[in-house]
């Protein structure tokens, strides 16, 4: 069907060109005496249509194949790419049309005929490229504008702090699902496409540990989407000029005003330096742990050496490290210790203690 349409199009073009130019060409070549039937415009239209029809027999199949390839690419492309690319093309053609208006009054044929065609092609292509490559920024701009169409105050008011942007580490960690289930995390969870791609890359790793971590992260996302009563959105955009996933997360948070949710200590510090709000799951976990004060007693199993001389290391049930002074001689034993100090950071909590027997001896 499309082949016939293309042939009809070229026949129409050939007929139109033949109607206008073939009689003039015949007169210019002095074929006939001027009253010859060859100089009739209708004869020229028939000749032009027939000539273009025979020409289509040689290249119509190539045109049909090119159209089908273009159609397949359009179908496979995301709808946002097609929409913003087309929008940019239309704007470029409108600008080209406005530029051509003063050129129509120019007498020089090269300027009034050839230059408008070049301007249309150039601005149409330029507009398409801008719309296609800047689609992510345009989407964010439209989202921000939509949220503030009634009130436009400070830039902070145009942000949406209810967006919680998840990074790869917090998804693999898995505790985010339990936090969402308890209802302590409000708003919309945003999972960027580039984070999903990193998770998939980890899940496809040849290293068994990495592969298991990646698959665990994907399972956690499926659980959040299907089992929990929390709104989840997939951010389809990307930042081509940024290579690191952490940097992309920070840039996305800056554009949307969202909050980065992580348990990565380094990403936590980067967000703080760049003025991006961040929720660290480790901070939350440390906040809900039982408070341990200096002077309290507890039982600890010393399992290995510490970094310093004569130190021993043990762990509580929640994973908190306890450094026992002079505990090296008690490795493999469960002893009573007295807490001497507690060190609290975003990376975790560390408790320093000494054996109770040593404390009593002192």
In a domain? residue 104: no
Q: Which of 76, 95, 129 is the last residue of a domain?
A: 76
In a domain? residue 112: no
Examine the pLDDT at 231 and tell me if it is beyond 50: yes
Examine the pLDDT at 332 and tell me if it is beyond 60: yes
236 and 299 co-located in one domain: no
Cβ atoms within 10 Å, residue 233? 11
CATH number, domain with residue 206 = 3.40.50.1010
230 and 161 co-located in one domain: yes
The C-alpha angle 313, 319, 320, rounded to 5 degrees, equals 60
Q: What is the pLDDT of residue 313?
A: 92
Q: Which of 286, 318, 338 is the last residue of a domain?
A: 286
225 and 168 co-located in one domain: yes
Q: What is the pLDDT of residue 3?
A: 76
- pLDDT digits 0-9 by tens, 263-317: 888 888 888 888 888 888 888 877 777 777 888 888 888 998 888 888 899 988 7
In a domain? residue 140: no
Domain that holds residue 318: 292-361
- Rounded Cα–Cα distance for residues 275 and 108 (Å): 59
- In this structure, the strands spanning 304-305 and 321-324 are unpaired
Q: How many independent structural domains does the chain possess?
A: 3
Reduced to 3 DSSP states, what percent helix, strand and coil does the chain have, rounded to the nearest 5?
A: 60, 15, 25
Examine the pLDDT at 248 and tell me if it is beyond 80: yes
In a domain? residue 38: yes
In a domain? residue 319: yes
Give the residue with greater pLDDT, 316 vs 36: 316
In a domain? residue 144: no
Q: Which of 42, 76, 110 is the last residue of a domain?
A: 76
Give the residue with greater pLDDT, 285 vs 327: 327
- Rounded Cα–Cα distance for residues 170 and 190 (Å): 13
Q: How many CA atoms lie within 13 A of 135 on its CB side?
A: 21
Confidence of residue 142 (pLDDT cuts 50, 70, 90): low
Average pLDDT, the chain: 79
In a domain? residue 146: no
216 and 301 co-located in one domain: no
CATH number, domain with residue 321 = 2.40.50.140
Examine the pLDDT at 149 and tell me if it is beyond 70: no
170 and 267 co-located in one domain: yes
In a domain? residue 139: no
Provide the whole-model pTM: 0.46
352 and 270 co-located in one domain: no
């Amino acid at each position: 069907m499309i082949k016939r349409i293309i042939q009809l199009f070229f026949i129409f073009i050939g007929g139109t060109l033949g109607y206008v130019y073939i009689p003039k060409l015949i007169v210019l070549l002095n074929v006939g005496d001027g009253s010859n039937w060859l100089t009739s415009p209708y004869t020229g239209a028939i000749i032009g249509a027939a000539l273009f029809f025979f020409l289509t027999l040689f290249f119509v199949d190539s045109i049909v194949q090119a159209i089908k390839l273009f159609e397949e690419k359009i179908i496979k492309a995301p709808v946002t790419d097609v929409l913003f690319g087309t929008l940019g093309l239309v704007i470029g053609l409108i600008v080209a049309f406005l530029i051509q208006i003063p050129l129509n009054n120019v007498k020089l044929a090269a300027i009034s005929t050839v230059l408008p065609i070049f301007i249309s092609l150039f601005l149409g292509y330029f507009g398409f490229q801008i719309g296609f490559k800047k689609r992510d920024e345009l989407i964010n701009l439209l989202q921000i504008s939509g949220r503030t169409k009634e009130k436009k105050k400070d830039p902070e008011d145009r942000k949406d702090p209810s967006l919680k942007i998840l990074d790869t580490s917090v998804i693999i960690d898995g505790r985010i699902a339990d936090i969402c289930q308890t209802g302590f995390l409000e708003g919309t969870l945003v999972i960027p496409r580039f984070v999903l791609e990193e998770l998939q890359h980890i899940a496809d790793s040849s290293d068994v540990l990495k592969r298991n971590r990646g698959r665990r992260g994907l399972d956690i996302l499926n659980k959040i989407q299907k089992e929990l009563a929390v709104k989840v959105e997939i951010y389809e955009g990307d930042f081509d000029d940024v290579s690191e996933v952490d940097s992309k997360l920070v840039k996305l948070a800056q554009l949307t005003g969202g909050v980065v949710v992580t348990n990565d200590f380094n990403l936590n510090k980067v967000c703080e330096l760049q003025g991006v709000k961040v929720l660290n799951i480790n901070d939350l976990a440390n906040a809900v742990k039982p408070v341990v004060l200096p002077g309290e007693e507890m039982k600890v199993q010393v399992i290995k050496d510490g970094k310093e001389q004569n130190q021993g290391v043990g762990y509580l049930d929640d994973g908190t490290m306890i450094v026992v002074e002079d505990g090296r001689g008690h490795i493999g034993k469960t002893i009573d210790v007295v807490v001497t100090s507690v060190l609290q950071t975003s990376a975790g909590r560390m408790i320093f203690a000494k054996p109770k027997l040593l404390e009593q001896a002192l």
